[in-house]
Amino acid sequence: MSAQGVAVITGATGVIGSTIARRLLAHDMKVVAVARHAKGAQIERLFGEGATANVVLCDADVSDAEQVRELMAYTAGAFGRLDVLLNAAGTYGAIGSVLEVAPGTWKAAFDTNLMGCYSCCHFALPYMVAAKRGRIINVAGGGSTGPLDHFSCYAASKAALARFTDTLASEVKEMGIVANAILPGSVDSGMQDQLLAAGARAGAWYPKMKRMRETGEGFAAASLTADLVEFLLFGAGRVLSGKLLSARYDGFASWQAAEIEAIAATELFALRRMDLVTLKPIVSLEPGIGRFEKK
């Protein structure tokens, strides 16, 4: 990627977003850092010494499609390009059991986690298509691959985000654009404050998160997510698209060229139902591909 590349990062003032921004700045990229109240942030404290010259703070609520349209138009107009879109804005939304959470409250998380991401992709894509290049990374999360009791709106919205991402990747694969979703793991962030504030409504997650906060054990470092982003944008993972990759568990840093080629050519590390049609090409791989071992 060119040293003059431009990235839009939503949720940029959060722990994950700001850590990723620092990594992109280290690659001499320009960063448009987006959050609802981004303009109140101290750039060098959040993004590192010397970041002021390469970071533009933008206030935008991604759940408002018109604000997102204006954001992408501003970026393309100000810099003449839009190379990377990284959607890190997210919320747990309503916490509680299905018995407890009212439908209207449950739906609200989708406005940020899914519709916000969709709007960002929709309004960024014309600039990427015109340039015949672009890279999109969507931050998925817990519940994308399995049930998450008492967090059903978060889980459902993130699972939908993963499916949206691989559908998007398929649509744009002939346009020079790639799209992937990533799983950061449990990062100690403001979202965990939301979980702890929910108390008993968070079910078994409340005592677990309380212990994690008290001991510091069990959290995934945000730097792991930045490592994965770096792998996908600047490293050997540039060839991958339509994947759902875990920063914490996938061991991508040690993948060899043959492994990455096999992963790119199959549905390994994608959101799929486990059935014979899906599994057949995966179990036919050589042992060790993507750390997958035949039994």
For 78-136, what is each residue's pLDDT tens digit? 999 999 999 999 999 999 999 999 999 999 899 999 999 999 999 999 999 999 999 99
Residue 289, pLDDT score: 64
Count Cβ atoms below 10 Å from residue 174 Cβ, excluding itself. Answer: 7
Q: Which residues belong to the active site?
A: 154
The per-residue pLDDT for 292 is: 53
Is 290's pLDDT higher than 70?
no
List the CATH code of the domain at 6-254.
3.40.50.720
Indicate the pTM of the whole model: 0.94
Section 55-73 average pLDDT:
97
For residue 239, the model assigns a pLDDT of 97
The pLDDT, as a whole number, for residue 279 is: 78
Rounded CA gap, 83 and 69, in Å? Answer: 16
Q: How many CA atoms lie within 13 A of 159 on its CB side?
A: 14
